[in-house]
Amino acid sequence: MVHFTAEEKKAVASLWARVNVEEAGGESLGRLLIVYPWTQRFFDSFGNLCSESAIMGNPKVKAHGRKVLTTFGNAIKHMDDLKGTFAHLSELHCDKLHVDPENFRLLGNMILIVLASHFSKEFTPQMQAAWQKLTDAVANALAHKYH
Amino acid sequence: MVLAAADRAAVRALWLKLGSNVGVYTTEALERTFLAFPSTKTYFLQLDLSPGSAQVRDHGQKVADALTLAVDNLDDLPGALSALRELHAHKLRVDPVSFKLLAHCLLVTLARHYPGDFSPAMQASLDKFLSHVISALAPNCR
């Protein structure tokens, strides 16, 4: 089980309070679909994903990005029990959505890049280390129920 | 495998903009890598890795020089980086996953310092460039 120190929890929470979930969620998912185009395989029903502007402007991408990042906010409230928090979503992503868990790590890295670009001053190496630990732990929690 | 023209143009343009500061950003990327991915420190037992370390700064500059060499030789990365491949793959025997971790931290660093330039397309070009560099550093005989 991953253990977060009090400082790590405080750092994550302090930055999270300032995140625009709608914007950051849409941007993170958009970047994933652009930088790693094979991830588009899970989003056939999303319509036009043909270009950078199509992806970043796609309302379904924005909505789904917001949904994903909102769930992330839930993770931040339950950093001591991520496996329990994500058990149901893990089953969903394995049994129904058939998503390779590597994609969770990639999306986590996109979230970090978005945070770095929006919060230059705050996203110190220490802040990144705390958030990296969180995104990696969430990715593992989402992979935990795979069989 | 060769980088597409649009990606090359994007990377070269960014490198011009970074100018003589590449070393500053590669050093920050190294610091981030050591903090976020402590397993990478196992390759640097002989270095002082404390914050602000001159040795990390020196190594950061070496990485910067290597990346600049790569940017200047996009037509033949394996050729240009052959000495570095020999060093990292055969002498130091670095797990290639570690290069990916450093590459990720470099992207985070550049996103932080150049948010206006770090469009998704730019990120994609840089990501591909760094993947090519990492491939060129992988062992060529196993």
Res. B1: pLDDT tops 70: no
| CB contacts, 8 Å: A55 with chain B | 120
**Mean local confidence (pLDDT), A81-103:** 93
> By C-alpha distance, which of B87, B95, B82, B90 is closest to B59?
B87
| CB contacts, 8 Å: B118 with chain A | 113, 117
Neighbouring residues of A44: CB distance < 8 A, sequence distance ≥ 6 = none
In the block, tokens 């002082």 appear at B48
- The CA distance from A132 to the nearest CA of chain B, in Å, is 6
Res. B87: pLDDT tops 90: yes
- CB count within 10 Å of CB A81 equals 12
Predicted local distance difference test score (pLDDT) of residue B141 = 63
The per-residue DSSP string of B122-139 comes to HHHHHHHHHHHHHHHHS-
Instruction: State in Å, rounded, how far the first CA of chain B is from the last one.
Output: 20
| CB contacts, 8 Å: B113 with chain A | 120
Instruction: State whether ipTM is beyond 0.95.
Output: no
Neighbouring residues of B69: CB distance < 8 A, sequence distance ≥ 6 = B80, B81
Phi and psi at A80, nearest 5°, equal: -90, -5
> Tokens representing A38?
């094979």
CB contact, 8 Å: A40 with chain B? no
Report the distance separating Cα B93 and Cα B90, nearest Å.
5
Q: Do A123 and B112 touch (CB under 8 A)?
A: yes
**Residue B139 pLDDT level (bands cut at 50, 70, 90):** confident
Answer with the residue of higher pLDDT: B55 or B1.
Answer: B55
pTM value is: 0.92
- Residues from B in contact with A at Cβ < 8 Å: 28, 31-32, 35-37, 104-105, 107-109, 111-113, 115, 118-121, 123-124, 127
Report the distance separating Cα A45 and Cα B40, nearest Å.
40
Q: What is the residue-averaged pLDDT of chain B?
A: 94
